[in-house]
Structure 1
Amino acid sequence: MMENEAIYPQCDRLLDQLSKFDSELLDLGGYINDDRFRLFEKGIGFNLPLDFKYILTLHNGISLMGTKVYGLDDDLKESSLNKVYHFEHLGAGNPMPAHFLPFSPDGTGNHYCLDLSKITDGLCPVVFWEHDVAYLSLNNVEVCNKSFTDWMQQVMIDWTTDDYNYDGSEK
């Protein structure tokens, strides 16, 4: 099996684990059934990783107890990938490089980003962009996870279940 063929079952397992959370804690956006990813990719000049497109096609935007993954829809206003991408690259005081796609805010102006310049076998690393750091080199931007699904497992699921049960009660 080619490595990228294993991406989708891994995504499905991750979504099954995510769905164990009580619906009061988890908000999963609706299905995307149009060409907005293709248009977005064309607009930014980069392909998106397969795991990211697959998960967001099934759930256009995800929120779990304050941890958010932006969706791709103008109706989401300032929480849409296209609006955030545009602002972080053209409107921010410390603009991101074009190949960083901010997909999840930390609540203080920083973002987890996909490094779209490093897609290999359909996946790319996740980096943490600090909006108030003047990076002397992009090598100084912290690489957090090897893929979007690894980030979701660690940040959304593992960090939440470290302190909370699936029903939201504290451990």
Structure 2
Amino acid sequence: MKRQWEKLETFLHNTNPALLADLAPPATDAEIAVLEHGLGISLPPDFVFCLKIHNGQRVNSTGLFDESEFLSTSRILQEWTIWKELLDAGDFDGVESTPQSGIQPVWWSPKWIPFTYNGAGDHLCLDLDPAQNGSQGQIITLWHDDDARERQADSFTQWFTAFVEKL
């Protein structure tokens, strides 16, 4: 993961210095603990390692991941809380998604942890509650107004590596 970040940082240095400068410093153990406590879960070690390199973006430039914001620990909790409040209010009662194999057929699960945000209510999420044939920590899409749920990778490491390799 560290090598992939170095490759990404070099790419940004050469192509988009403003985006490189927008990356936040590493998350502290305390920030990660607050996030995990707020979510009521333990995050996958590969994602924690990533946050300990850069705690998301400061949001002073375009989004890091295909123009989607790379969420900091505080922004993850903020976005997750919005979805949790909608769930608790019953907004998703009786509504199912149309997921690919390995993803729960729900509109949203509290164990889907958003780590990107496109500004329109859509995310990539860590799926910590996969269905049968899924992988703990797989990366899935979450669209606020579309019932499709697609698996992007089996793990954060796999997803991040593929993202960096296609640059």
Structure 1 CA distance for aligned equivalents of residues 124 and 109 of structure 2: 13
Picking from 3, 7, 19, the partner of 1:13 is: 3
Picking from 123, 131, 142, the partner of 1:111 is: 123
CA contact (8 A) 1:47 1:116 kept: no
What's the CA shift for 1:151? 2.0
| Alignment correspondent of 2:143 | 130
Give every structure 1 segment of 4 or more consecutive aligned residues whose post-TM-superposition deviation is greater than 4 Å.
92-95
What's the CA shift for 1:111? 0.8
Supply the RMSD in Å over aligned alpha carbons: 2.4
Picking from 144, 148, 151, the partner of 1:143 is: 151
Structure 1 CA distance for aligned equivalents of residues 42 and 6 of structure 2: 26
For 2:37, what is the secondary structure of its paired residue? Answer: helix
Percent identity reads: 26
| Alignment correspondent of 2:52 | 57
Segment of structure 1 superposing worse, 91-100 or 143-152:
91-100
CA contact (8 A) 2:39 2:77 kept: no
CA contact (8 A) 1:128 1:144 kept: yes
CA contact (8 A) 1:14 1:149 kept: no
User: Which amino acid in the other structure matches residue 138 of structure 2?
Assistant: P
What's the CA shift for 1:107? 4.1
Structure-1-length-normalised TM-score:
0.67
What's the CA shift for 1:44? 1.8
| Alignment correspondent of 1:24 | 18
Structure 1 CA distance for aligned equivalents of residues 44 and 78 of structure 2: 19
Which whole-Å deviations, capped at 9, do the CAs of 1:120-168 have from their partners, x for residues lacking one?
xxx610000121134xxxxx6211111112222334x345x2xxxxxxx
What stretches of structure 1 of length at least 5 have no aligned partner?
1-10, 74-79, 135-139, 162-171
Paired residues in the alignment total 134
Structure 1 CA distance for aligned equivalents of residues 123 and 152 of structure 2: 11
Structure-2-length-normalised TM-score:
0.68
CA contact (8 A) 1:51 1:149 kept: yes
What stretches of structure 2 of length at least 5 have no aligned partner?
58-62, 93-106, 131-135
